[in-house]
Amino acid sequence: MALDYQPIFILASGMLLQERKLSTVTNNLANADTPSFKKDFLEVASWYTDMGAKEPDTSPENPTNNFVYPMVSGVFTDLSQGPLRETGNSLDLAIDGEGFFAVRTPEGVLFTRKGNFRLDSEGYLVTEEGYRVLDSQNRDIRIEGNRIEFDPRGNLYIDGERSVSLGIWSLPDAQKVGEDFFRGTPQRAQNFRLRQGFLEFSNVNPILEMVRLIETSRAHETYARLIQAVDEIQGRLNSITR
């Protein structure tokens, strides 16, 4: 009886994998022009059972009861740096090298490389969502002055006077939270250069992602056709045995 459901279950697993890949690729493409976006990718593992091995039950939900099929073992983020583009805005900041900016959010302190900052009505340096950017002591940064300058190490100068140092942290165990933010165990970043008047853009390569999109769509269609063919064959076998 196991052979009745196994071919369709294995093919369905492959089709579902392609759907997960489509979701990941389309999300990457949708954020190709989003500043500092980091693309995601899937890690896939194969489960298998030796033919003829005695199994405790015949449930298709039990991975040990099927021959070979794929399973998504995790979604990971490519943290490689995207291209830096000059904007001329003194509050646009980009990290050339390792590191993240620290911001205070309703979920606690999170980290981002998205540096399109602005000043709120109270003079605090904030993200586009209105979250306050933090200095190296995890304090909110308030700017009162006209000329705002950052040096390559993240030190802030207001009208020529040094104020605070921007908090720039490396995250060895970075975990993505939403599209723009990360959490992890912060350590002081060392190998970086802060670029004022620049933004880091997405590390997504639209051409490669389009190729992956086409390949994944075709694979999904192939699995669907195979499932239909197996279903038709089993239907004919059932009619013969009656």
Q: What's the pLDDT score for residue 2? A: 42
Lowest mean pLDDT among 6-10, 44-48, 127-131, 186-190: 44-48
Q: Average model confidence (pLDDT) for the chain?
A: 86
Query: Taking the model in full, what pTM does it have?
Result: 0.78
**pLDDT, tens only, 141-169:** 999 988 999 999 999 999 999 999 999 99
Q: What's the pLDDT score for residue 60? A: 54
Residues 6+ away with beta carbon under 8 Å from 99: 113, 168, 169, 170, 189, 192
CA distances from 56 to 51, 59, 146 (A): 14, 9, 74
Which backbone phi and psi does 169 adopt, to 5 degrees? -130, 145
More confident residue, 5 or 185: 185
Q: What's the pLDDT score for residue 7? A: 74
25 has pLDDT over 70: yes
Q: What's the pLDDT score for residue 1? A: 40
More confident residue, 11 or 241: 11
Contact call for residues 11 and 226 (beta carbons, < 8 A): yes
DSSP states along 48-93: E--TT---S---TTSGGGSSEEEEEEEEEE------EEE---TTBE
Q: Work out the pLDDT band at 46, boundaries 50, 70, 90.
A: low
**pLDDT, tens only, 76-130:** 899 999 999 999 999 999 999 999 999 999 999 999 999 999 999 999 999 999 9
Q: What's the pLDDT score for residue 54? A: 44
Report how far Cα 56 is from the mean position of its chain's Cα atoms. 38
63 has pLDDT over 60: no
Q: What's the pLDDT score for residue 52? A: 44
Q: Closest Cα partner for 79 from 56, 113, 130, 125? A: 113
Amino acid at 96: D
Q: What's the pLDDT score for residue 225? A: 84
As a whole number of angstroms, the distance between CA 230 and CA 235 comes to 8
Helices (H), the chain: 2-30, 206-241
- Domain regions of the chain by residue span: 2-80+203-241, 84-200
64 has pLDDT over 70: no
CA distances from 101 to 117, 163, 215, 223 (A): 11, 17, 36, 44
SS3 label, residue 101:
strand
